[in-house]
Amino acid sequence: MGGAVSAGEDNDELIDNLKEAQYIRTELVEQAFRAVDRADYYLEEFKDNAYKDLAWKHGNIHLSAPCIYSEVMEALDLQPGLSFLNLGSGTGYLSSMVGLILGPFGVNHGVELHSDVIEYAKQKLDFFIKTSDSFDKFEFCEPSFVTGNCLEISPDCTQYDRVYCGAGVQKEHEDYMKNLLKVGGILVMPLEEKLTKITRTGPSAWETKKILAVSFAPLIQPNHADSGKSRLVHLPPVAVRSLQDLARIAIRGTIKKIIHQETMSKTGNGLKNPPRFKRRRVRRRRMETIVFLDKEVFASRISNPSDDNNNSEDIEDERREEEETKPSELKPDPPVNFLREKVLSLPLPDPLKYYLLYYREK
């Protein structure tokens, strides 16, 4: 699946294309997509394809196309503080974007069949927390992943506000998926070759909406051949945050507010990032002339003999002229992690500073 939008040169350009095609329609979803670089979830040798609107699979590792994830994120209608369950959580790419919206008081759980993919997802999550400046722009609901078949979730598990299944659901498992939802919750899953949004409006009342045609690999059925018994999947408990952790969230939130107020007083506007400017790509077309003589038609190319020689020179001249005439003040400054700078400047012991920064590398 995929290929609905043009390939981007980087993550921001991919998101620009998804917005232009109306796959991304809300600011919250856009911010989450821009904050998590899709290429970081690819193996190094495949990163050239990261910004194409295509699915990617290597062994057990799988990523859906960006246009699919966009529709899923929009359909889930995520809000801070909600609980989320990702069935077939894979690389953790979607779970990380969801965690940015849920905030520190949400719940973010994932179930993945393959243990090697769980390890891969944990590595990618650790890399995001330690290296991405976007991590400091949000209060993050860190995903927790468990290994197992999502069709064998323990019946005494808690229900969730939002549920997504990343594999094709057979009709006989529809009710099973619905029962994972709280009243008022939203379930998004591929059902009968359609990405489907189901809202639980009451204890036994549902609203169903088909979003778009999709093609997903079907859910893998439980295999009880070894022991004859099912292996129940126990989801992570809903953890209560420690007082120390709550203090860190409060301190970081206060510092962010101060930074935002200082930025507003300096710039006089609410722009979080300077606008991006792209150089227009100029395509030259060779003109052809069609000549009519009596009842016969002749198509001939009429051009100046020097055109071919000067063509590459003209393009180079135009490119150089564009670069020279572009005002230097329009080029965005390198990003600065103001939160990190502010924390490091505080009159606090170093261990406390590092704790506030989640012990991230400088």
Catalytic amino acids?
64
Q: Which long-range contacts (CB under 8 A, 24 or more apart) does 169-174 make?
A: 169/218, 169/219, 170/218, 170/219, 173/219
d(CA 251, CA 358): 13
What tokens appear for 239 in the block? 């953890």
Sign for the pseudo-dihedral over CA of 344, 347, 353, 356: negative
Strands 83-87 and 205-213: unpaired
Q: Which long-range contacts (CB under 8 A, 24 or more apart) does 321-330 make?
A: 322/279, 322/280, 323/279, 326/277, 326/279, 330/277
Q: What is the phi-psi region of residue 88: left when phi exceeds 0, alpha when psi lies from -120 to 50, beta otherwise?
A: left
d(CA 131, CA 319): 35
Hey, how many other C-beta atoms are within 10 angstroms of the C-beta on 217?
Answer: 12
Alpha-carbon Rg for the chain, nearest whole angstrom, is 26
- Nearest CA to 138 among 109, 96, 107? 96
d(CA 71, CA 29): 10
d(CA 319, CA 336): 30
